[in-house]
Chain A
């Protein structure tokens, strides 16, 4: 390619400086509707295909149609690429390309940008006919200028108008061209990826986008003097790239489930969008119910009459489903619930990540309602968790809550393509005739397990009830019967726990500090542990996939560390706050559980900033905790 040759020449003659880096975080931000997301997604996909590790997250404005050029309207993508696997969104952004200075300002004010970052910003606003806009530009550039970034003005509008009439619709591909030059992306792959992204549109659209891409590339080659070299160190072979909600949707299909009942709620809804596209091909149905209560009711009705069904929701919906979840436990109807957590309580932070539903998921149901709570830690695990959840739900006749969060839901990452196993589909439920006299809750004394009687099965007629009942499913208020049936339902959790393996410690088996996490924070925690260990800090981490029942051996593992603390995305008090004492301190939700479970004095560090934890922040926490307590 001519351009490539030109660039090489430029590098050779020393006109472009090349910064070599093991990883780099890039943001593309615009007003919503200007296509920054498509630009970012394409950049991420091309990087994955080239063999870079990639983690992409969307930057979503809280409103559907925020006013243009407002900091609240910043919309786009953040793409972190690395030489090796990237497990989290990283710290601050190294390169940002913005379609106006206001959205850039928003990122700056959110402390999203690294001190020495390179910022590329559309400069049409500097000379805009509207005086107010020019003033905004000046003020913003002054604020940004004070921060020490390297700011490069880009005449996006002017350049794009040479190819399109409406530059608003073209800047994203122009920006992609700039990024492709800066990161030396494979241009054939990029053109292919664009063609794929616009495959449903007219051929001219792809062609025009290719032109804009070339234009951006050429502009960068002409005008920029810095390139960033993040070498692809992975094989892209046999890899899938998708977000956690898509992975959960595909996992549900792979698990042979056929009914998803839901009511739209961010950030869970897109599971149903994905299923809506494909489920019917497998005989599956996405039922959009009139509300969350109906959704779980439909799922329970379906589960009761055959293969287990599932419902997808987020915090407010989980709250509405509570009564039915208790019924599922009481009547031992298998059910899978996916809770894609967002910020709470109440409507909270609909699009933002939090891990604050843990205790609600575990204990939200009135009465004693033992059930299973699992938390996939990666996007890949979102797929596999659905298969595990179905199997546990049916084997143990129980409720399984699978907890993901907005970080997993919207993060996009390549992961090894699973080898699909037909056995995951499960066999048809046992509908062979029931021998006379066999009760519908024929609890095995030791395990509490019993066979499900599914409608259609001869000889199995009985009435299931959410009232206290004996083995024959007869309503029973006798105290001994309630004690017994409670025991049987609880026993199943112990039996499941006996089949779980102790969790693996990441890092050394003993040391000064053990950081314990759950859910989407795994990548950030382990990256922080790696950084600290590289400095000689004695720290390891542990990640839990089962929160109920808990994986075995925790107390023994904890005993090998001087200090144990959780790192979570939920709220906790800190001891230096007014009124807060050891006695009244409210701790992180996992810390709360672990203290109760192990009697170990588990500390915690938690934040509810509406964003995933940054590995750098966890790294700081590790350092201060080891120098403070553990190592002493």
Chain B
């Protein structure tokens, strides 16, 4: 692009970025909120990848989780409830040089923004899309979300949620052209980090559902899984997220799963009797929408010349 940053930025190429280079405003989530852990993992990822803060954009919707960009010292776009993905798509289409991360809540992503989730998955534009799933509407104080477990009581459904919870992994795997679908949990930092890193390195739209505790409204939902690693299956594969060394002992259940195997991935996702973490599906061979965008290097004068040629066809 004409406004490529390397020409303008007086940044020393050897400059090394540290954690505090990515730290924005002090996070104001509740103590014990799982979002803190995701924030730390994201900041660690940026250090690890040495991403330039000014070339990185965090886009969010509205919700507790969508406060995320304020706590990063990168560019941030805290937009509308449910609408993070279109904004991120616009940014990446216009500026493929930027690193784009999207942070959404469950209401944000699979309720009000559900249409965008389906289509952003299919567009397969290169970005990381995190859905911080606390199974509830947090910011607006405990209304049922599509991922609220059946029977779980909320302020809008005090008798318990009527419907079975929507399964975001299974649903995303059902979307044509999905290229990276993973699940991780914020209470397992090593796995969270490894998953975000795999997502970032993936060439395409990387959808990551992060199981996230809300200590105020849904504290009990993940309690057992946190206490009992036996409840969790780790999907293990060199092409996905290999189970980190530090976790191999603590999480004894490893399932060897080739992330190129879509039908196996769908089966694993559909079985909700177990919590499965890791990369369900990953295929870098799928078309990416931004490849349709060609940027011929034209000067303004060139463009005027071409435009005049086009207008000739409409000359009387």
Chain A residues numbered 221-257 whose CB sits less than 8 Å from any CB in chain B: 236, 238-242, 246, 250, 253-254, 256
Residues of B within 8 A of A428 (CB): 2-3
The reply to whether A282 and B298 form a contact with Cβ atoms under 8 Å apart is: yes
Give the shortest distance, in Å, between B236 (CB) and chain A (any CB).
35
Q: A290-B119, A306-B94 known; A463 and B70 CB under 8 Å? A: yes
The reply to whether B86 and A293 form a contact with Cβ atoms under 8 Å apart is: yes
The reply to whether B301 and A261 form a contact with Cβ atoms under 8 Å apart is: no
Residues of A within 8 A of B59 (CB): 301
The reply to whether B87 and A282 form a contact with Cβ atoms under 8 Å apart is: no
Pick from A241, A261, A304, A324 the residue with the most CB of B within 10 Å. Answer: A304
B106-146 vs A, CB cutoff 8 Å, 1 = contact: the mask equals: 00000000011011000000000000000000000000000
Pick from B24, B53, B74, B86 the residue with the most CB of A within 10 Å. Answer: B86
The reply to whether B87 and A306 form a contact with Cβ atoms under 8 Å apart is: no
The reply to whether A309 and B73 form a contact with Cβ atoms under 8 Å apart is: no
Residues of A within 8 A of B75 (CB): 453, 455, 460-464
Q: A254-B307, A297-B86 known; A304 and B77 CB under 8 Å? A: yes
The reply to whether A300 and B316 form a contact with Cβ atoms under 8 Å apart is: no
Q: Which of B5, B58, B93, B311 is the one whose CB lies under 8 Å from A431? A: B5
Q: A306-B3, A456-B95, A463-B24 known; A278 and B310 CB under 8 Å? A: yes
Q: Which of B69, B80, B83, B311 is the one whose CB lies under 8 Å from A250? A: B311
Q: Is B78 engaged at the interface, CB distance under 8 Å to the other chain? A: yes
Tell me the complex Cα distance, A382–B92, Å: 29
Q: Which of B10, B95, B310 is the one whose CB lies under 8 Å from A433? A: B10
Q: Is B90 engaged at the interface, CB distance under 8 Å to the other chain? A: yes
B282-316 vs A, CB cutoff 8 Å, 1 = contact: the mask equals: 00000000001111101111011011101100111
Tell me the complex Cα distance, A420–B1, Å: 23
Residues of B within 8 A of A461 (CB): 24, 53-54, 73-76
The reply to whether B316 and A49 form a contact with Cβ atoms under 8 Å apart is: yes
Q: A253-B303, A466-B79 known; A458 and B310 CB under 8 Å? A: no
The reply to whether B83 and A324 form a contact with Cβ atoms under 8 Å apart is: yes
Q: Which of A290, A423, A454 is the one whose CB lies under 8 Å from B116? A: A290
Q: Is A294 engaged at the interface, CB distance under 8 Å to the other chain? A: yes
The reply to whether A259 and B98 form a contact with Cβ atoms under 8 Å apart is: no
Q: Is A280 engaged at the interface, CB distance under 8 Å to the other chain? A: yes
Tell me the complex Cα distance, A456–B299, Å: 21
Chain A residues numbered 464-483 whose CB sits less than 8 Å from any CB in chain B: 464-467, 474-475
Q: A289-B86, A420-B308, A455-B54 known; A301 and B77 CB under 8 Å? A: yes
Residues of B within 8 A of A281 (CB): 296, 306, 310
- How many A-B residue contacts, CB cutoff 8 Å? 216
Give the shortest distance, in Å, between B111 (CB) and chain A (any CB).
14
Tell me the complex Cα distance, A459–B292, Å: 32
Q: Is B196 engaged at the interface, CB distance under 8 Å to the other chain? A: no
Residues of B within 8 A of A414 (CB): 316
Q: A304-B77, A422-B301 known; A236 and B316 CB under 8 Å? A: yes
The reply to whether B300 and A256 form a contact with Cβ atoms under 8 Å apart is: yes
Q: Is A572 engaged at the interface, CB distance under 8 Å to the other chain? A: no
Q: Is A285 engaged at the interface, CB distance under 8 Å to the other chain? A: yes
Q: Is B250 engaged at the interface, CB distance under 8 Å to the other chain? A: no
B83-107 vs A, CB cutoff 8 Å, 1 = contact: the mask equals: 1011111111111011000000000
Number of interface residues of A (CB under 8 A): 75
The reply to whether B90 and A300 form a contact with Cβ atoms under 8 Å apart is: yes
Q: A293-B83, A422-B301 known; A240 and B90 CB under 8 Å? A: no
Q: Is B271 engaged at the interface, CB distance under 8 Å to the other chain? A: no
The reply to whether A240 and B315 form a contact with Cβ atoms under 8 Å apart is: yes
The reply to whether B80 and A466 form a contact with Cβ atoms under 8 Å apart is: yes
Residue of A nearest to B58 (CB): A463
Residue of A nearest to B90 (CB): A301
The reply to whether B300 and A305 form a contact with Cβ atoms under 8 Å apart is: no
Residues of A within 8 A of B310 (CB): 250, 253, 278, 281
Residues of A within 8 A of B62 (CB): 466
Tell me the complex Cα distance, A261–B74, Å: 26
The reply to whether B3 and A259 form a contact with Cβ atoms under 8 Å apart is: no
Give the shortest distance, in Å, between A282 (CB) and chain B (any CB).
5
Residues of A within 8 A of B89 (CB): 287, 294, 297-298, 301
Residue of B nearest to A432 (CB): B8
Q: A285-B292, A289-B86, A425-B303 known; A241 and B91 CB under 8 Å? A: no
Residues of B within 8 A of A429 (CB): 3
Q: Is A4 engaged at the interface, CB distance under 8 Å to the other chain? A: no
Q: Is A178 engaged at the interface, CB distance under 8 Å to the other chain? A: no
Pick from B8, B55, B90 the residue with the most CB of A within 10 Å. Answer: B90
Tell me the complex Cα distance, A2–B284, Å: 69
Give the shortest distance, in Å, between A338 (CB) and chain B (any CB).
17
The reply to whether B306 and A324 form a contact with Cβ atoms under 8 Å apart is: no
The reply to whether B87 and A304 form a contact with Cβ atoms under 8 Å apart is: yes
Tell me the complex Cα distance, A29–B296, Å: 44
The reply to whether B90 and A417 form a contact with Cβ atoms under 8 Å apart is: no
Q: Is A449 engaged at the interface, CB distance under 8 Å to the other chain? A: no
Q: Is A569 engaged at the interface, CB distance under 8 Å to the other chain? A: no
The reply to whether B91 and A302 form a contact with Cβ atoms under 8 Å apart is: yes
Tell me the complex Cα distance, A375–B53, Å: 41
Q: Which of B85, B88, B299, B315 is the one whose CB lies under 8 Å from A417? A: B315
The reply to whether A287 and B93 form a contact with Cβ atoms under 8 Å apart is: yes
The reply to whether A239 and B94 form a contact with Cβ atoms under 8 Å apart is: no
The reply to whether B80 and A323 form a contact with Cβ atoms under 8 Å apart is: yes
The reply to whether A280 and B77 form a contact with Cβ atoms under 8 Å apart is: no
Q: Which of B5, B78, B93, B300 is the one whose CB lies under 8 Å from A425? A: B300
Q: A236-B316, A256-B303 known; A297 and B90 CB under 8 Å? A: yes
The reply to whether B93 and A259 form a contact with Cβ atoms under 8 Å apart is: yes
Give the shortest distance, in Å, between B58 (CB) and chain A (any CB).
8
Residues of A within 8 A of B70 (CB): 463, 465, 474-475
Q: Is A214 engaged at the interface, CB distance under 8 Å to the other chain? A: no
Pick from A261, A296, A431 the residue with the most CB of B within 10 Å. Answer: A431
Tell me the complex Cα distance, A460–B53, Å: 10
Q: A289-B86, A301-B77 known; A420 and B307 CB under 8 Å? A: yes
Give the shortest distance, in Å, between B89 (CB) and chain A (any CB).
5
Residues of A within 8 A of B79 (CB): 297, 300, 327, 464-466
Pick from A289, A300, A455 the residue with the most CB of B within 10 Å. Answer: A455
Tell me the complex Cα distance, A48–B8, Å: 51
The reply to whether B80 and A324 form a contact with Cβ atoms under 8 Å apart is: yes
Tell me the complex Cα distance, A142–B314, Å: 43
B37-71 vs A, CB cutoff 8 Å, 1 = contact: the mask equals: 00000000000000001110111001000000110
Residue of B nearest to A293 (CB): B83
Q: Which of B8, B293, B299, B316 is the one whose CB lies under 8 Å from A285? A: B293
Can you offer 18 A-B residue contacts whose CB atoms are under 8 A?
A: A240-B316, A250-B307, A250-B311, A254-B307, A256-B303, A259-B90, A259-B93, A287-B93, A297-B80, A297-B90, A301-B59, A301-B86, A414-B316, A417-B315, A422-B301, A458-B54, A461-B73, A466-B80
Given contacts A293-B86, A417-B315, 14 further A-B contacts (CB under 8 A): A240-B311, A241-B315, A256-B300, A291-B115, A298-B86, A305-B57, A309-B90, A323-B80, A425-B303, A432-B8, A433-B10, A461-B53, A461-B54, A464-B78
7 nearest A-B residue pairs (beta carbon): A301-B90, A297-B86, A463-B76, A298-B90, A302-B94, A422-B300, A301-B87
